[in-house]
Structure 1
């Protein structure tokens, strides 16, 4: 449940954003002509990109360039709300911020990075920057266009001077060139994650109906049947080659409910997971 959502805009686009919410929560979106810096003020999440995932915890941040993402926020141990801030970068906004004189480090050509997400080394300067944003979100009457421009410039300078500045610079130079991923690669990368068909459609930047049609074309099967079959096959394999508990295997194979997993496994193999392991190993 969203408890608080605030944003400050430039050129009718959200540039500075804050969200406070009660997890668990899944947030998804496609950044077709933007990139952003995401900072976790409080909480923990798994950020899924087209071909990789990253874990984020309190006081951690990432730079994300164009692409489709799904951010799955987990419940906090102390049941506290989660909180995150995001600073969005758009080509037209940056041109406005720099008065059409974009700094060289944003436009110089370098070999394209293969990463669409880069973890940022958070230092005290960035923490202080985030604290200053939170102050303005608590006192929104103080914010104006000049301050928004200053905060954008300040963040960019901080990002290109972090310990992993080379990789950050490389991503900044390529922020507005979305990477093309093969449909099949996205599915295979995320096959055993706890993601629904709707979630996978988001990562492929498709509507659910278009996703299902494309899936049938590529795999000659429906998404639901193919994904469940592959997950059950992996579970059967893990039951024989690992000592992991059935519950752990259930979650490792992308199932979120042990009861549903056991029922599906028995329907396919004629035995419960425990009985299957015992029978095969006896």
Structure 2
């Protein structure tokens, strides 16, 4: 289930959201808010968060911009942020292939520079002025006729072409609609110690749960749950041997959903509790 925003404003063109303003309360982890074939740019107006991609974690601070291709990712916040019940405000621009081709015709190409799925963009004065203009349109939707929407999308594509140092607007669009593919095994390795459910991990791999399970067993020769749990517990034993290691922190660092779950699985695997394990290794 998607996290329900406490405030949401949007401008649509031909039935698709092209500009949006979102205000969210603190969350643990949410998938991208849309699941069409869109790419997007988000101005982070308030708050900071981490984006989990198949290959890395990227931190976005207040005042920065996030350029994301059409791929599956998660937005996450820290436990500290969740306890403080922070709020987050975003202004977004969504690009769809069938719409932007009206402005800058282009052809998909495997030769496009395709070495990223997500980019942190510095918001300069030009982008800041653009954001402020979109904010005005969102607050006054009666202004958003077809000509204005297309002109603002054209302006945005030109600004992004410069921000990404692309050769031309069609070249930028080739890049933004060509997701960079990561291997299944690399995605698993990069997210092994995250507190992801199997459904979430399958989503990150862009697969259904049944396809994910089959692929996982084919590569690792055992079920995802058994393999991932054993790897997390192995890491936990290393951390527990270190001085000043707190059990709750170890459980969190190894990606267990709770300390009680960690204690139960550790006891089942090693026939002793984490606290007894610490005593025995001293």
Query: What TM-score bracket applies, with the shorter chain setting the length?
Result: 0.7 to 0.9
Hey, what does 2:270 align to over in structure 1? 269
Cα distance in 1, alignment partners of residues 168 and 220 from structure 2 = 37
Hey, what does 2:85 align to over in structure 1? 79
**Does structure 2 retain, via aligned residues, the 8 Å contact 1:44–1:76?**
no
Compared CA separation, residues 115 and 146, structure 1 to 2 (3 A):
same
Hey, what does 2:119 align to over in structure 1? 118
Hey, what does 2:175 align to over in structure 1? 174
Cα distance in 1, alignment partners of residues 168 and 228 from structure 2 = 35
Cα distance in 1, alignment partners of residues 259 and 167 from structure 2 = 41
Cα distance in 2, alignment partners of residues 62 and 22 from structure 1 = 19
CA deviation string 1:199-230 (max 9, x = no partner): 11111112223222322222222222221111
**Count of equivalent residues:** 275
61, 64, 82: which one aligns with 1:60: 64
101, 108, 126: which one aligns with 1:95: 101
Deviation at 1:111, TM superposition (A): 6.2
Deviation at 1:120, TM superposition (A): 0.4
Compared CA separation, residues 254 and 42, structure 1 to 2 (3 A):
same
Hey, what does 2:7 align to over in structure 1? 4
Give the match's secondary structure for 2:72. strand
Hey, what does 2:185 align to over in structure 1? 184
Hey, what does 1:253 align to over in structure 2? 254
**TM-score normalised to structure 2 length:** 0.84
41, 51, 55: which one aligns with 1:47: 51
Cα distance in 2, alignment partners of residues 279 and 171 from structure 1 = 58
Instruction: Give unpaired runs (5+ residues) of structure 2.
Output: none
**Does structure 2 retain, via aligned residues, the 8 Å contact 1:26–1:73?**
yes
Point out the more displaced range, 63-72 or 9-18: 9-18
CA deviation string 1:232-277 (max 9, x = no partner): 1111122225654333222221123222222222221222223213
Instruction: Give unpaired runs (5+ residues) of structure 1.
Output: none
Point out the more displaced range, 193-202 or 78-87: 78-87
Compared CA separation, residues 19 and 115, structure 1 to 2 (3 A):
same
RMSD over equivalenced CA pairs, Å:
2.9
